Each structure stands twice: as C-alpha cells, then as structure tokens.
A = this chain, B = another copy of it.
Amino acid sequence: MPSDKAPIAVFDSGVGGLTVVKALRQKLPGENLLYLGDTARVPYGGKTKETIERYSEEIGRLLVGEGAKMMVLACNTASALALPRLRQILDIPIEGVIEPGVEAALRATRSGHVAVIGTKATIGSGAYERALRFARPDIEVTSVACPLLVPLIEEGLVEDEVTDMVLERYLGPLRGGSVDTLVLGCTHYPLLRASLARVAGPGITLVDSAANCALAVERLLDRHLMRGVSSGGGALQLTFTDPPGSFLGVASRILGLGAGGTLIRQVPPLGN
C-alpha cells in the first residue's frame, strides 16, 4: 500500500503532458507529482500500437518502481493505444485523457456533432469515436489527424502564420458546418488554443482534456482513498529519458510552472 506521500505519476511521450500537470496542480495542490517525459523516443504519434504499448509498459513499470500510487497517461496517443494493456498489467489505478475529454465534449455539444483532432496514431486508433459512440450512440464524430501540429508547437511557432496556414487546412472545412465542439485530442494542443479558436471560429467550443483529466484523477483518488495529505504545496519532480531541450523552458513559461521547488533529473537509460 503506497503512503499518502506517494506521488501521482504523470506520463507523456514528451513535454506536452505538462498541460495536465498544470491542471493537476491547480485542482490537487497537496499532491506530490512525478512527471516522466519519454523524450528519448518522442514522438509516439506516428508509431504503431505494438511499439507504443511496449514503450508505455516499460515506463509504467519504471514509475511503479518509483513508488507511484496512481498513474496518469497524459498522452492521448498512449491513452488511445496502451491504456487497456497497462490496466491489465499494473497494480495501481490509471487514468487516461480520452475518457475525460469525451465527457467534456458530451457536456459541451448542443448539435450532437463533435470534431476530434489528434496525432495520426490517436486518430487512426478510433479511440475517441468509440468512446463517444459508447456514451451516446447517436453522436456524429468528425476526426482529423493533424501530424504537423506537434512539430510546429515544439519549434515554438505558437502564434505564427505558418501554423495558421496549417490549421486552416486541417480545420477550415469544419467552419460553418454542424460541428459545435472541438476536442483537442493531444496534450500539446492547448498551447495553440488562441490560434485554434481563431481558425475554428466563434461557433465551435474547444474542449481540452487537461482540466477534465484533473477532475477524473480527483474522483479516482477518492474512490481509492488515496488523497495526499502533504501540508503546503505538493512537490513536483520532472524526469526525462533524454534532456528535454529548449522546449521545456518554453512550456514552463507558457504554463506558468515555476522552477522553484521543482527537481529536474534524467532517468537512467531505458534498456535502449
């Protein structure tokens, strides 16, 4: 049984999952958080289910070994492709980002027509469509793979005409149709929120899973009687499999993650 000081582990392929960390810190300020970004093998979004499962399983075992009491898959690609396998093999509760995003989308839509954007692997998995249709069989879903957005964001082109031109191609066809809700199905995308809102137009509500994921984590903590009781703010430890480079600075500034009290370290090489 992990102690109530045990951290909640947050796992992403890179640094995009820091958007979920931000939401968790706001919602659950007393919890200790252990973030792991698999920057040595980022991105996952173009890889196959087999490889994504293998990487996720390895990271999951590592985080359990670090004493995590719960794991958050703050990566849509891993949530779409590896969550069932991880729930099968790991003994701690696991929350993904897809179910929370789906709940939020269903609360937001009036027209019953929801669009989802994500990486190739996430969209190709059909995970959002399945979860949306399971919850509401008459829902209409339009899915759009947006493989260039992560590279553009990682290059810091968050307010840029190149990015706007790419967004126009991906989202322009949705404007003026019956879609009224757009699910940001990748934890990088909240960094593009302003551009996304501009291109999608005023008739479409953006839903990101970070805030909803934090709510789901809170419910899961209560269900398992696992709330942390640290007095004062919980600690945040950021770990990476390869030094995260300049984007960590960019993300930290955008997300307002203070460096104060944050331990940053590299975990040992993962086998290969």
A: residues with CB less than 8 A from B are 39-42, 46-48, 50-51, 54-55, 58, 120, 147-148, 151-152, 154-155, 161-162, 165-166, 169, 241-243, 245, 269-272
Which of B51, B147, B152, B245 is A46 in contact with, Cβ under 8 Å? B245
Q: Return A176 CB to nearest CB of chain B, in Å.
A: 23
Contact B243 A48 (CB under 8 A): yes
Please, which residue of chain B has its CB at the minimum distance from the CB of A151?
B151
Which of B58, B242, B271 is A51 in contact with, Cβ under 8 Å? B242
12 contacts between A and B (CB under 8 A): A40-B47, A41-B41, A51-B241, A51-B242, A58-B272, A120-B245, A147-B154, A148-B155, A151-B151, A162-B169, A165-B165, A271-B272
Residues of B within 8 A of A243 (CB): 48
Docked complex Cα distance between A40 and B162 (Å):
28
Q: Return A79 CB to nearest CB of chain B, in Å.
A: 19
User: Assembly of this chain: how many copies?
Assistant: 2
Please, which residue of chain B has its CB at the minimum distance from the CB of A43?
B43
Q: Return A103 CB to nearest CB of chain B, in Å.
A: 31
Contact B242 A47 (CB under 8 A): yes
Docked complex Cα distance between A245 and B49 (Å):
12
Contact B161 A165 (CB under 8 A): yes
Contact A40 B51 (CB under 8 A): yes
Residues of B within 8 A of A270 (CB): 272
Residues of B within 8 A of A162 (CB): 162, 165-166, 169
Q: Return A182 CB to nearest CB of chain B, in Å.
A: 21
Please, which residue of chain B has its CB at the minimum distance from the CB of A46?
B245
Docked complex Cα distance between A47 and B120 (Å):
22
Contact A151 B147 (CB under 8 A): yes
Contact B269 A54 (CB under 8 A): yes
Which of B40, B48, B151, B271 is A271 in contact with, Cβ under 8 Å? B271
A147, A241, A242 — which one has the most chain B CB atoms within 10 A of its CB?
A: A242
Q: Return A165 CB to nearest CB of chain B, in Å.
A: 5
